[in-house]
A and B are shown apart, each in its own frame.
Chain A
Amino acid sequence: MNPRTRRILELILDNLVWFMLLFVLAIFSIFIPNYFQLGIFANIIEASSVLGVMSIGLALVIITGHMDLSVESVTALGAMAVGILFCSAGIGLGIQLHPEWLMVPVSLLVAISVGALIGALNGVLVVKLNMSAFIITLASYIWVRGLVVAVSGGRSAQDLAPAIRWFGIQRLFGLPLTAWIAISCFVIFSLIMAKTPFGRHLVMIGGNQQATYRAGIRVTRNLIIAFVLAGAIAGLAGWLLTIRTSGATANLGVGLLFNAFAAVVIGGVSLKGGVGSLPGVYAGVLLLSSINTAINLMGLPANFTQVIHGLLVLAAVLLDTLKQTIRQRLA
């Protein structure tokens, strides 16, 4: 095999999920009437912003070889905190700040700090006490959701302050600002993972934690930061979710965790750790979103969505195995 074909093959393998996305979009555009519209594509991106942001945090932790099941509940808690503080109807307290724009940074800060706090708790328990991340974050997944239900009393908050809602309404190049926030998160975190020592260390910790420790990398510190980041990002996702629904309900975001998992796995992140990139995860999120849109457009009952998502995850894992085999041949 000459170096050129090898390089092209590597490129395809590295970006397989993007090619899958293009392929699926092409197929849908050909066979589904009205699919091929800018509005539809904008909608796909818009609909994937909350899930996308949440998937970043999940992917970060999985790349280090750990697990964070709590992101969904943390997203809900972030959303509920913003909802209670800045919604004017239902259980919302309707706090007003002057000038009005001040509510934006304050609400953002609240959502992100709530998330970071729970992330820090997860991280410290997992790393310092050397407990299984699966169990610790499963516990957080349960108790944080419980907290959401408890503080809301099962009721909801509506009518989010207009100053905050503005981010969901104001559009730039056809996309609401919330979608741009999600996209910038992907860009920023992709750069951090690919270009900074911190990102490189996270990947290496996922590959061989013992080796990184011996090499003098501060493994404990880096892992805790990864968990804090995952929590903070989930909080941000919660902020976006409140804007999207203009309020918060106790069961907000239920089931998002499994979609995030699907996106991360489809995006090429290995659950064993050490493998995967964030652009791939974004492609995974967009892929899920474009399939949902296709199902809606075809008028299929929405119940099928879950079946298709499940099959997609299965396909992604099979594809991953296939990729490994091809790579071994390449080397």
Chain B
Amino acid sequence: MTTPLLVLEDIRKNFGAIEALKGISFTIGKGEVVALLGDNGAGKSTLVKIISGGLEPTSGRMLFEGEEFLARSPAEAKAAGIETVYQDLSLCTNVDVVANFFMGREITRKRLGIPILDERAMERETAKALSNAGTRIPSLRTNVEHLSGGQRQAIELNRFVHWGGKLVLLDEPFAALGVEQTRRGLDMIRQVAAQGIGVVIITHIMQQAFQVADRIVVIRQGVVAGDVARSKTSPDAVVSMITGEALAGAGPAG
């Protein structure tokens, strides 16, 4: 196996006296889809925030493409090639679809040395990306506040597919999606992985994890309670890892 995309080594995070993460270690390979499972409060979202630059770990280290890595802000993580789709949506509802799609990466043309937004180019790109993914939004110029929850989530998902990067973190990305859109979302994840991009997906729905993931990592009370290939486990075994009844087929536990 070549160098893994991301290696987590003994990541710990304390919030005051509370130990949210008590030493998390696992790896993500290129083109691999890892489902991160665990009960509420197990520390999944905290871990994702540490990788994406939203939080700094108390101790431990990360290797990204074989090199020491620590993102101090989402901007740094993005620059390194890590895209994140958060549980609570990260859209500005007061601007239109195009502006959201290109948030922070607007296409500009220089006029007299001043960057001017190239609205037409951005609208074209957005329309292309959305139609490729089969998302229908009547007008790309409507403000996002007027769109449904499903449409909003579709914008976020298409945004990460379009920008790609090297590693994608998805924190419960399908919470507001219907059956058909979820299926399409899972397809999107497989496509993204097929391009060699690593994917970490947090989900509560066992079925989704088994549909999309290559590997399943279970976190319980801040430690890795299981790290198994999908083909070598079953939903029942994973449930017992989550609840802590038995460590059936579990990898290293903390």
Contacts and interface: CB of A to CB of B under 8 A. Distances in A.
Contacts of B94: 203-204, 206-208, 274-275
Contacts of B106: 197, 200
A1 B179 CA distance: 30
Interface string A172-216: 000000000000000000000001110011011011101111111
Contacts of A212: 92, 103-104
A259 to B, nearest CB: 26
A331 B95 contact: no
Among B54, B75, B89, chain A packs the most CB atoms within 10 A around the CB of: B75
Interface residues of B, number: 29
A208 B108 contact: no
Interface stretch (B39-47, B112-120, B197-205): B112-120
Measured as residues with beta carbon below 8 angstroms from the partner, the interface class of chain A is 20 to 34
Interface in A211-233: 211-218
Interface string A273-314: 011000000000000000000000000000000000000000
A196 B146 CA distance: 24
A210 B90 contact: yes
Given A216-B75, A331-B142, A207 B103 contact: no
B75 A207 contact: no
Contact of A216 (B79, B93, B108, B142): B79
A197 B75 contact: no
B192 interface: no
Given A207-B94, A211-B90, A274-B94, A196 B116 contact: yes
B78 A208 contact: no
A62 to B, nearest CB: 13
Main secondary structure of the interface of A (DSSP, over half): helix
Contacts of A330: 146
Contacts of A275: 94
B103 A331 contact: no
Interface string B99-133: 10001111010000011110000000000000000
Interface of B: 52, 54, 73-75, 78-79, 84, 86, 89-95, 99, 103-106, 108, 114-117, 142, 146-147
Contact of A196 (B86, B89, B103, B115): B115
B146 A211 contact: no
Given A197-B117, A203-B94, A208-B93, A214 B99 contact: no
Contacts of A206: 94
Given A200-B99, A204-B95, A212-B103, A195 B90 contact: no
B90 A196 contact: no
Report, nearest first, the 7 A-B pairs whose CB atoms are least far apart: A331-B146, A207-B94, A216-B75, A207-B92, A274-B94, A215-B104, A211-B90
Among A197, A203, A218, chain B packs the most CB atoms within 10 A around the CB of: A197
B114 A196 contact: yes
Interface in A235-293: 274-275
A327 B93 CA distance: 14
A218 to B, nearest CB: 7
B95 A216 contact: no
Contacts of A213: 73-74
A207 B144 CA distance: 11
A207 B93 contact: yes
B125 to A, nearest CB: 15
Given A204-B99, A204-B103, A331-B142, A211 B91 contact: yes
22 contacts: A196-B116, A197-B108, A197-B115, A200-B95, A200-B117, A203-B94, A203-B95, A204-B94, A204-B99, A207-B92, A208-B94, A211-B89, A211-B91, A211-B103, A212-B92, A213-B73, A214-B86, A215-B78, A216-B75, A216-B78, A327-B146, A328-B146
